[in-house]
């Protein structure tokens, strides 16, 4: 990768700050972090990381709108900033923040010959009944279930129709977990929540199953470690020939029971799982299976292997959660 400046939007968030850590490990220090910190705790994710500036997302957009050369020689843009709340109901806000902001930043990067990698979303797949195939020929047939997913899907469609998708790379993250997610509250991964629950009570609760053929806790997800995600993002930044929208998971679905056992094992405890009723409000739309099709990303030559669930959970629990929920930048 060129040693020019890099820009990471959403850089104080979970995956964004982990991406800056990843780029730091590869020797990249000239990084502009773009985010909206406000009064929350996201800033803690930046402690110990190396960057040249932290800018509010509106200030950043205004500066590149005023001057195409506002940030000098920019080698790459990693656009992870978005409103990711699936419960957000303000459609105008989502379109402005997720769709049009992405389009403006993409056009700015392409006009400069700058590599552009962005986050789409697995929410574009809707209920998953059509599978999780990232074949570009199927893009227009996807039916997101919420406005967040639609705001992401709309840019994917626009990029495909305009030909931009042949010059940029997008990723659809599946169930990402790992350090630097502590500020996310209810949106934290079950790994982090499980560690807290087992630490405090010795027991973990999982949802009962309400579908024939699926045992309690046997519902499956494609759990992917954040370090695998950031290694992949760094590779895509460095390989402008790898373009299109790609799934980013492991390609192997695992059950909640598997995850629970991995957490107990990492904590050196015997499993103690209680299955509790699933809220009626989500029973009819609960997904029992997600699994990323990974053939297209692998076909690009991306060499990043998928860390096993057990190894990833062990690394997360022992190096980050158990010592007091350390961030990537503050961990030896």
- Across the chain, the runs of DSSP E, i.e. the strands, are 5-9, 31-35, 53-56, 74-79, 115-119, 169-173, 175-177, 204-207, 220-221, 223-225, 244-248, 254-255, 273-276
Residue of 184, 193, 210, 288 marked active site: 184
Contact call for residues 208 and 276 (beta carbons, < 8 A): yes
Catalytic residue among 101, 118, 125, 148: 148
The C-alpha atoms of residue 302 and residue 309 are separated, in whole angstroms, by 20
Among 99, 30, 33, 101, CA closest to 61 = 101
Q: Could you count the other beta carbons within 10 Å of the beta carbon of residue 276? A: 10
CA distance 80 to 124: 16
SS percent in the chain: helix, strand, coil, step 5: 45, 15, 40
Q: How many other CB atoms sit within 10 Å of the CB of residue 134?
A: 25
Residue 148 annotated among the catalytic residues of the structure: yes
Beta strand 254-255 with 220-221 is antiparallel
For the question of residue 227 being annotated catalytic, the response is no
Say if CB 203 and CB 325 are below 8 A apart. no
List residues with catalytic annotation: 148, 184
């Amino acid at each position: 990768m060129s040693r020019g400046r890099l820009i990471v939007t959403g850089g104080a968030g979970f995956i964004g700050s982990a991406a800056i850590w990843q780029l730091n490990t590869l020797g990249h220090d000239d990084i502009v972090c773009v985010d909206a910190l406000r009064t929350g705790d996201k800033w803690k994710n930046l402690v110990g990381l190396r960057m040249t500036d932290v800018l509010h997302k509106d200030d950043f957009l205004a500066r590149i709108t005023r001057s195409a050369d506002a940030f000098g020689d920019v080698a790459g843009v990693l656009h992870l900033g978005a409103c990711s709340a699936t419960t957000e109901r303000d459609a105008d806000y989502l379109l402005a923040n997720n769709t049009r902001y992405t389009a403006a930043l993409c056009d700015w990067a392409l006009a400069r010959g700058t590599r552009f990698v962005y986050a789409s979303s697995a929410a574009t797949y809707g209920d998953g009944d059509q599978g999780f195939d990232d074949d570009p020929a199927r893009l227009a047939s996807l039916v997101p279930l919420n406005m967040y997913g639609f705001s992401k899907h709309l840019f994917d469609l626009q990029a495909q129709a305009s030909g931009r998708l042949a010059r940029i790379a997008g990723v659809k993250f599946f169930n990402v977990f790992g350090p630097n997610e502590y500020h996310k509250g209810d949106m934290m991964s079950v790994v982090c929540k499980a560690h807290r629950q087992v630490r405090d009570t010795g027991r973990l609760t999982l949802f009962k199953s309400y579908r024939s053929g699926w045992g309690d806790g046997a519902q499956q997800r494609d759990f992917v470690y954040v370090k695998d995600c950031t290694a992949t993002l760094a590779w895509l930044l460095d390989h402008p020939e790898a373009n299109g929208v790609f799934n980013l998971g492991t390609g192997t679905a695992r059950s909640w029971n598997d995850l629970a056992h991995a957490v107990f094992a990492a904590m050196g405890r015997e499993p103690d799982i209680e299955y509790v009723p699933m809220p009626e409000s989500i029973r009819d739309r609960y997904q029992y299976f997600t699994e990323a099709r990974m053939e297209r990303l692998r076909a690009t030559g991306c060499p990043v292997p998928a860390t096993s669930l057990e190894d990833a959970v062990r690394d997360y629990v022992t190096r980050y959660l158990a010592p007091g929920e350390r961030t990537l930048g503050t961990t030896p």
